[in-house]
Copies of this chain bind each other. A is one copy, B any other.
Amino acid sequence: MKALVYHGPGVKAWQDVPDPVIQDATDAIVRIESTTICGTDLHILKGDTPEVASGRILGHEAVGTVEQVGPGVTIVKPGDRVLVSCISACGRCQYCREGRSGQCTGGGGWILGYMIDGTQAEYVRVPFADTSTYPLPEGAGDEEILMLADILPTGYEVGVLNGKVKPGDTVAVVGTGPVGLAAITGARLYTPSHVIAIDLADARLEAAISFGADLTVNNSREDAVAYVNSVTRGRGADVAIEAVGVPASFELCTQLVRPGGHVANIGVHGKPATLHLESLWIRDITVTTGLVDAYSTPTLMQLVAARQIDASRFVTHHFKLAEIADAYDVFQNAAETGAIKVVLTS
């Protein structure tokens, strides 16, 4: 089959590789019908994750049809059309049984396109298929559901649910790339009073408004703390969601949040941040970090099928799988292309 293979920092190729085969009793082979590219794929390609071996097929998001299953697969069967989640869940370890499959100790977690071959290919082997795929619901398009492979549950679980967004809250979202927009989408499910989008780029702030932010701050030229305090009459944001992954944006969140509020970190960080305990120790704040677990995937599917979430808004560009090099170019140059998510179909 054809697949996108990583050959070390900066080098990738859409090339022939052997078809995947069932290795464990709980595996399924899925024929990819649509997949997409994630910011993490770009990180791997840049060489930021030396643990990724050369020769690895990239990608951890897909919708497709099950071709074959191992003898330990009891729910999923050939012919099923499924979402392949970025999180593989062994379903047996203590973390999986508590709904925290992102921390799976039984061989799952985020492994696709990272520790094992991924979904930017014609076929993929999905471990623990019964607990790592989800049947497509009626009433939702494939590419909408594809947005539930990673981005929407990430914004919702790690941003909104960890941040404990509640009706009436003022929510500040720092960083309005794809994951920040997913957090805004998720926050709106709880009817906050205000969602304040904060970013350095006006174009992204405009996107944020179309995703549900009602107020915006360009913090390249405005003082976000002063703005949030003015909106909340000096109280501060109930929830501040970090969706960038740099120390400055995390530290900004800890300044934006009110006493008793929540800072929910979604960003992938490469460096430590400073936690100003000399002022924060007394302020009753809660800081959370996390990888997506995908426990919300069935809920989000219901909401998409019930037309309560419009997931199609994320999809800005379409390509055929064989045009994946072009798709990477467009996605990588989001500042010019306006790309949020690009969809590749077979």
- Closest B residue by C-beta to A294: B97
Q: Is B95 a contact partner of A131 (Cβ separation < 8 A)? A: no
Instruction: Kindly state the separation between the CA atoms of A305 and B233 in the bound complex, as whole angstroms.
Output: 14
* One of B71, B130, B188, B271 near A71 (C-beta < 8 A): B71
Which one of A198-206, A261-269, A328-336 is at the B interface?
Answer: A261-269
Chain B residues, Cβ within 8 Å of A90: 74
Q: Which residues of B contact A275 (CB under 8 A)?
A: 250, 272-275, 287
Q: Does A286 contact B (CB under 8 A)?
A: yes
Within 8 Å of chain B (Cβ to Cβ): is A223?
Answer: no
Q: Which residue of B lies closest to A214 (CB)?
A: B306
Known: A92-B91, A308-B193. A282 touches B291 (CB 8 A): yes
The docked-state distance in angstroms from the alpha carbon of A94 to that of B261 is 13
Given A72-B25, A168-B302, A260-B95: A277 in contact with B285 (beta carbons within 8 A): no
Does A316 sit within 8 A of B, measured CB to CB? no
- A298 sits at the interface (CB 8 A): yes
A260-B98, A306-B194 known; A167+B299 contact, CB < 8 A: yes
Q: Does A289 contact B (CB under 8 A)?
A: yes
A269: nearest chain-B partner, CB-CB: B277
Given contacts A97-B99, A97-B131, A131-B91, contact A278 B284 (CB under 8 A): no
Quick check: A303 and B267 within 8 Å, CB to CB? no
Cα–Cα, bound, A289→B288 (Å)? 12
In Å, the complex CA distance between A269 and B275 comes to 11
Which of A6-14, A28-36, A55-63, A100-108 is the contact stretch? A100-108
Evaluate contact between B75 and A72: CB separation under 8 angstroms: no
Smallest CB–CB gap between A209 and chain B, Å? 16
Decide if B284 touches A286 in the complex (CB within 8 Å). no
Q: Is the CB of A245 closer than 8 A to any CB of chain B?
A: yes
B289 touches A97 (CB 8 A): no
Q: How distant is the Cα of A302 from the Cα of B70 in the complex, in angstroms?
A: 34
A interface majority secondary structure: loop
A190-B190, A191-B308, A306-B194 known; A277+B265 contact, CB < 8 A: yes
Whether A92 pairs with B276 at a CB distance below 8 angstroms is: no
* Chain B residues closer than 8 Å to A298, beta-carbon distance: 94, 168
- The winner among A282, A289, A298 for most chain B CB atoms within 10 A is A289
A75 contacts which chain B residues (CB < 8 A)?
92, 106
* A339 in contact (CB, < 8 A): no
Q: Are B98 and A99 neighbours in the complex by a CB distance under 8 Å? A: yes
Q: How far is the CA of A287 from the CA of B162 in the complex (A)?
A: 12
Nearest CB in chain B to that of A254: its residue: B275
Residues of A near any B CB (own CB < 8 A): 24-26, 70-75, 90-92, 94-95, 97-100, 102-103, 106, 130-131, 166-168, 188-194, 245, 247, 250, 259-260, 265, 267-278, 280-291, 295, 298-300, 302-303, 305-306, 308
List 8 A-B residue pairs with CB atoms under 8 Å apart, sorted by A's residue number: A70-B72, A74-B106, A92-B131, A167-B308, A267-B281, A272-B277, A282-B290, A284-B288
Top 7 A-B pairs ranked by shortest CB distance? A72-B72, A269-B277, A168-B299, A193-B306, A189-B191, A275-B275, A284-B290
Beyond A97-B295, A189-B190, list 18 extra A-B contacts (CB 8 Å). Answer: A25-B71, A91-B130, A92-B130, A102-B284, A103-B284, A167-B308, A168-B302, A193-B303, A193-B306, A245-B281, A268-B282, A271-B277, A283-B289, A284-B290, A285-B289, A285-B290, A286-B288, A287-B288
